[in-house]
Amino acid sequence: MKRSNQRKDDGANPAGAATVAGRGDTLTERLHRELKAEILSGRRIGGTRLPSTRQFGVQAGVSRNIVLAVYDLLLSEGLVVSRRGAGTFVRDGAARPSQPPPAFDPRVLQARIRSPWRDGGLTDPIAASAPFDFRIGIPDTRRFPHDVWRRSIARAARELARRGGNLGPSDGLAPLRAAIARHVSFARAVACTADDIIVTAGAQQALDLIARVLVTPNRTVAAVEDPGYPPAAHVLAAAGARLHPVAVDAQGLVVDALPRAATLIYTTPSHQFPLGAVLSAQRRAALIAFAHARGAVIIEDDYDGEFRHHGRPLDALQTLDRAGQVIYVGTFSKSLFPALRLGFIVAPPWLRRALVAAKQLADWQCPLLEQIALAHFIDDGHLARHVRRMRRIYAERHDALTAAIQRDLGKALTLIPSSSGLHLAALTAPGKSAAALATRARNAGIAIQTARAYRRDHGGGDGLVFGIGQIETDAIDTAIRRLARLLTP
Amino acid sequence: MKRSNQRKDDGANPAGAATVAGRGDTLTERLHRELKAEILSGRRIGGTRLPSTRQFGVQAGVSRNIVLAVYDLLLSEGLVVSRRGAGTFVRDGAARPSQPPPAFDPRVLQARIRSPWRDGGLTDPIAASAPFDFRIGIPDTRRFPHDVWRRSIARAARELARRGGNLGPSDGLAPLRAAIARHVSFARAVACTADDIIVTAGAQQALDLIARVLVTPNRTVAAVEDPGYPPAAHVLAAAGARLHPVAVDAQGLVVDALPRAATLIYTTPSHQFPLGAVLSAQRRAALIAFAHARGAVIIEDDYDGEFRHHGRPLDALQTLDRAGQVIYVGTFSKSLFPALRLGFIVAPPWLRRALVAAKQLADWQCPLLEQIALAHFIDDGHLARHVRRMRRIYAERHDALTAAIQRDLGKALTLIPSSSGLHLAALTAPGKSAAALATRARNAGIAIQTARAYRRDHGGGDGLVFGIGQIETDAIDTAIRRLARLLTP
């Protein structure tokens, strides 16, 4: 694996995700690229012998080890062959024959790519880490009990071997669905049984399946929070929904501002993304009433609701609703780790079958190994234990951050009260942009995002959003003081 | 986990996949369902004590062990609680409150479900196994080196722990993409580098992403083989394509029958699904010429092309094409096991970015654990070794089956020549249905599918398709003789 780590991972970087970026162009990479181009273009013809590594090193003015590494790479790519005692040769047929004029201009083909995907994916406002890291959407994976998880994985791998490895059910393994139902019944008072659960590849797939099943292109009006979680809006738009951004204030989604035509409402009531507000009890009741009166369906994204810092949690919308108009979406990206790719939907009965069919068409099912392991991890009490422990740690960070912002940044920023989750936000005065401050922070070793980066309506208010997944409690004071100094030049 | 395995996995059963179906309704299941209904409906009120297991067994006329199992199930579902020494009690709040009349009739909501998913998913023509198992689409997972794979998983779990578990790139981990590129370059002579690979959740997701990106609803004409792989047609239809079934003969897809308007062509050239023919060299050239002339894009699904039994493999369409009009789709479901959920796309440059964006929106990325493990498994030579070994075993079965069909069924069925893959087919005489034979076979302990089950045009010819993933070489003769006896009553 080491070898290939030298090149950059060129995948699109998901918003809020750490990246695995490389360290730029090494000598090995440059030499490899040049030689490869010569072979592919046919400038070095199949069958010809490459110079010895020693010779080549002298010619190119690099160490023999670098040449060895480059030959090794070419070998692994099948571009050269090594004959014992005779040396390294360009493989016959390694050259890509020069392209004949294609019958169709690639642009003609490219024009067929559907618009949601034509411009590529979402990019992270801040991709890389920093000494003081306030990026949001990332849990503290250093504190995850990886050793315990590895034991669950090892046990699951043995079971999977016994089982053989054929496909299981598309809605998820029954024991995992039962474990998830118990977990959300207990932790979030969501009313459900195993039969209501559909296991998905994270909340992202959950949102995608819901959008695909419920959005009629160019017809369905979907309300999304603004600022809000960009991938949710993106998924709804890609399915063809007419998006309607709805304002958010210190009580969460402004229910009165919902468009009457909305039949799909995406919301983060436990902990607004990214402003951090908790949807008030009144707003909850009003939202449910709206859904019942207008026949709307609510997507309740409870991405970090387990991490309630203070007070009793409010009832989930799913719990308040009695008419099957709330679809609850949960994830294990925050309580375990994002690269696990497991989440779930608690689906109302009328929708379940269609969602399972959509899951089946999307990818049949989630990998069995993680499903079996997670069932054990929950059943054995490890999830509850880890959440309990992290709740305390995140609460400490949350409290330290709240105090520090009020003390050191209170004049410039207005904190939005928050009692839950892995981030909080503070607004700049109306008309003031937070972008300049975020840029200066970046140069001072503080990675922080603006609220506007999550807005669809870019005219709206701005602020800073502080994630607490990556920063230790005792670094918070220093970071905020440093941020405060940037305000007073 | 054992406990919950007693209930039926009620997920939709994918076509061609082994199922984990239970053995019907056991006493335990029935009693559990009844008690659960009583609790959920509130007929057994929260806080009331259930009879002792002994008492209840006597009342219900079942053994105490069954009652114990039922109580255990209810306990695991959180419907009852057990108090040491005091017995088992219905949990407070376990009842689902009776639903108030919903403001909206669920049928109104249900009517918003988009048509591709309204009728649920695909079902397997034959879900359960049998003493002689000829179901198709299932590899021999008993012979997979699960112990070696478990070591790759253990190693990957350690690396993942060190890494922390944050998201990686959406197109797949660079070392895995490099390993896959080497593997398909070597095993299938597909011209590609790591940069052309996108790692997907099996071939299913690969097809789904391609369909979502390239199908313009109600406009794109997509040609599919008939008979063909139902999930591919389903995915294209769900994306809104106008499907055009195209006939298949002993040389594979009948290229001359392609509709001129087709801009997307789904085909299985290495080994037609389900008839087993290999697309001839002439047809390959004609298909590429069609694509170049008409600007069509070909989806080359090479689901089991590694298992070539005899002769030199023909060039992949991807290799023949010079204009970036072939999208090559591969999977590890056959060479490793289906529950792994890993496959890949070799994408032409003009399409890559859009596919990665679609993957990102669909589920961000595949789980890192399997990605790291598979990279090791390939790099360490285990994949090549396993494929080599299985190629020999499948070739034995293929040859034994070919000989047995010709000897014992030659009068009734016409074998379609096949030199590759995990199944082959034999056609019944025109006008003769194979369904009756398949049903009789089922009763005689032989699980076998008809060709017609894979047809869109149900008027077309029929036959039987024989999978060799689940049957041992030395059972083939017995099975075919038994099948022959069913033909002569």
Strands, E assignment, A152-281: 197-200, 221-226, 242-249, 252-253, 262-267
Average pLDDT over residues B424-441: 90
Instruction: pLDDT band for B432, please (50, 70, 90 cuts).
Output: confident
| Interchain contact B15–A (C-beta under 8 A) | no
Q: What is the pLDDT of residue A96?
A: 67
Q: Quick check: ipTM above 0.90?
A: no
Instruction: pLDDT band for B7, please (50, 70, 90 cuts).
Output: very low
**Which element (helix H / strand E) includes B272?**
none
Helices (H), ranges, B77-127: 106-110, 115-118
Contact B411, B482 (CB under 8 A): no
Instruction: Count the neighbouring beta carbons within 10 Å of the beta carbon of residue A65.
Output: 11
pLDDT digits (tens, 9 = 90+) for B42-77: 677 777 888 888 888 888 888 888 899 899 888 877
Give the residue from B19, B91, B114 with the most A CB atoms within 10 Å of its CB, the best one to mutate: B114
Residue A446, both tokens: 């503080």
Cβ distance A154 to B149 less than 8 Å, yes or no, reads no
Asked, as a colleague might, if the bond just before A227 is cis with ω within 30 of 0, I would say yes
Q: What is the pLDDT of residue A17?
A: 33
pLDDT digits (tens, 9 = 90+) for B188-215: 889 899 999 999 999 999 999 999 999 9
Cβ distance B215 to A100 less than 8 Å, yes or no, reads no
A104 → closest Cβ in B157, B165, B295: B295
Above 60 in pLDDT, residue B10?
Answer: no
Q: What is the pLDDT of residue B489?
A: 58
Give the list of residues 6+ apart from residue B410 with CB closer than 8 angstroms, or none: none
Residue B12, both tokens: 């939709």
Above 70 in pLDDT, residue B315?
Answer: yes
Instruction: Count the neighbouring beta carbons within 10 Å of the beta carbon of residue A459.
Output: 6
Q: What percent of chain B has pLDDT over 70?
A: 91
| Interchain contact A29–B (C-beta under 8 A) | no
- Return averaged pLDDT per consecutive 10 residues of chain A, 489 residues in all: 35 33 62 82 77 85 88 84 85 65 70 83 73 94 96 98 94 97 89 95 98 95 96 95 95 96 97 95 94 95 91 87 94 97 97 96 97 98 96 96 96 92 93 88 94 83 94 97 87
| Interchain contact A76–B (C-beta under 8 A) | yes
Q: What residues of A are in contact with residue B122 (Cβ under 8 Å)?
A: 357, 360
Above 70 in pLDDT, residue B301?
Answer: yes
Cβ distance B357 to A96 less than 8 Å, yes or no, reads no
Q: What is the pLDDT of residue A376?
A: 98
CA-wise closest residue to A21 among B14, B167, B18: B167
| Interchain contact A111–B (C-beta under 8 A) | no
β-pair type (A423-428, A463-467):
antiparallel
Q: What is the pLDDT of residue B103?
A: 58
Average pLDDT over residues B89-105: 66
β-pair type (A252-253, A242-249):
antiparallel
Instruction: pLDDT band for B25, please (50, 70, 90 cuts).
Output: low
Tokens 């306030």 belong to A134
**Which residue does chain A place closest to B178, by CA atoms?**
A4
Interface of B with A in 181-200 (CB under 8 A): 181-182, 185-186, 191, 193-195, 200
How far is residue A198's CA from residue A214's CA, in Å, rounded to a whole number? Answer: 16
| Interchain contact B368–A (C-beta under 8 A) | yes
Q: What is the pLDDT of residue B459?
A: 67
CA-wise closest residue to A113 among B471, B312, B3, B358: B358
Interface of B with A in 422-461 (CB under 8 A): none
